Amino acid sequence: MSCRLFFALRPPSSLRENLLDLMEQVDVARWQDDDQLHLTLRYIGEVDESMAEDLADSARHIAFKPLELSIAGCSFFEKKGIPRQLYARIAPNERLSALHRRLDRLCVKSGLEPERRKFVPHVTLARLNQASGSLGPFLANHATVRLGPWHVDEYILYESHLREQGSLYEPLCTYSARMK
């Protein structure tokens, strides 16, 4: 049996409420719900249960200091010129980048491929397709939105369950900040 996993940060409820309030002005967008709002630190993908247990256990040894994060505008990812994801950008933060690198190294030590995509810290707001409406009005209103800061003192290992109405994210383990 396999698990679809990722490490992530969960914004506090007050910030998630602010993000949910932004979600409008794009037709045929599949907006995320409150339970889906997170910042992916490292996508793992499909692994067997043994590797999932090893990753969960090994992550306990990752040390990191608490950090403060903020939302710094909204943007989108595209593929072949077509917008695919609308997201809230996270302001640059070296401690966040360092945590991402540590988790990537942990995954590589466990036998996974290194992350090939550039780490772009964000919270996905909507999934888009060719039928989605123009992003112009949304970006005009929210490209420079500022939210936060929020205090981060833990990260979570999630299992993703794919469903027709969108993924369900189940927290498996929570890891608290601690110094080296």
| CATH assignment of the domain containing 55 | 3.90.1140.10
Q: What is the pLDDT of residue 179?
A: 67
Domain around 31: 2-176
**Residue segments in the chain with a per-residue pLDDT below the cut of 70:** 179-180
How many angstroms separate the CA atoms of 146 and 35, rounded?
Answer: 22
pTM for this prediction? 0.94
Q: By three-state DSSP, how is residue 149 classified?
A: strand
For residue 47, give the amino acid letter.
V
Is the Cβ–Cβ distance between 35 and 167 less than 8 Å?
no
- Interatomic CA distance for residues 68 and 45, integer angstroms: 27
pLDDT tens figures, 79-106: 998 999 999 999 999 999 999 999 999 9
The tally of domains found in the chain comes to: 1
Residues 8 and 40: beta-carbon distance below 8 Å: yes
